[in-house]
Amino acid sequence: MKQKTDRIFRALLPCLLWFVFAGAQAQNADIRILEKFNRLDGGFAQGYSKAVSKSTPYLAIGIPVLMGCYGLIDRESGILDDAIYVGTSIIEATLISYAVKYGVDRQRPFERYPDRIVPRDFPGSPSFPSGHAAMAFSLATSLSIKYPKWYVITPSALWACSVCFARMNEGVHYPSDVLAGAAIGAGCAVANYYINKGLKRLVLSRRRPALVAY
């Protein structure tokens, strides 16, 4: 048994060493890239980052709420359904990102590297993934899916990318944090779209026999 265990260990050792090396390299790349964003400390960059960061929760909540209010007034427009889709996508992305945050419990970059990163914000939650990026990309992706026009897609994408830049410029997230947050946000919007589509088909398929019988 001991010989078998030794053979398994020797077989796995190169893989374990590779993962350790790859993780260290990824962490080094993370902090090196972050330092470049964080060093953009001019007045415009700081002001822009602060404004974009603060706008994220307001836009993520405000846009679906405004859409819902309009949908309640004009029920035939179909905007109420769109508002529910956009809002639930953002809620899902936020819940998932915060569940992962406290599961991974990664230190903020300015906490781990106080000599290399200058913080311009002091969030109390863990670093990975970025909740701001998750909200921003969930909003941008869901709006782009529902309204696939260049005048919706372009500003939505630019704003979502600006949120990622802002969180790195403020020194509160690594590049991997914002990439993971963006993936969660966009993924929730896409998944929610297909789930809703499948549920509508299921409801319609159940209604049709009843209508025919009647």
Q: Which residue in this structure is represented by tokens 């896409």? A: 190
Query: What pLDDT score was predicted for residue 145?
Result: 94
Q: Is the pLDDT at 42 greater than 60, yes or no?
A: yes
Q: Decide if 100 contacts 119 (C-beta within 8 A).
A: no
- Distances from the Cα of 139 to the Cαs of 19, 82, 129, 160, in angstroms? 34, 12, 17, 8
Name the residue type at position 146. Answer: K
Fold (CATH) for 2-213: Vanadium-containing Chloroperoxidase; domain 2 (1.10.606)
Least confident window among 102-106, 145-149, 167-171, 205-209: 205-209
Least confident window among 9-23, 31-45, 133-147: 9-23
Q: Is the pLDDT at 26 greater than 80, yes or no?
A: no
Query: What pLDDT score was predicted for residue 5?
Result: 41
Domain ranges in the chain? 2-213
> pLDDT tens digits for 157-203?
999 999 999 999 999 999 999 999 999 999 999 999 998 887 777 76
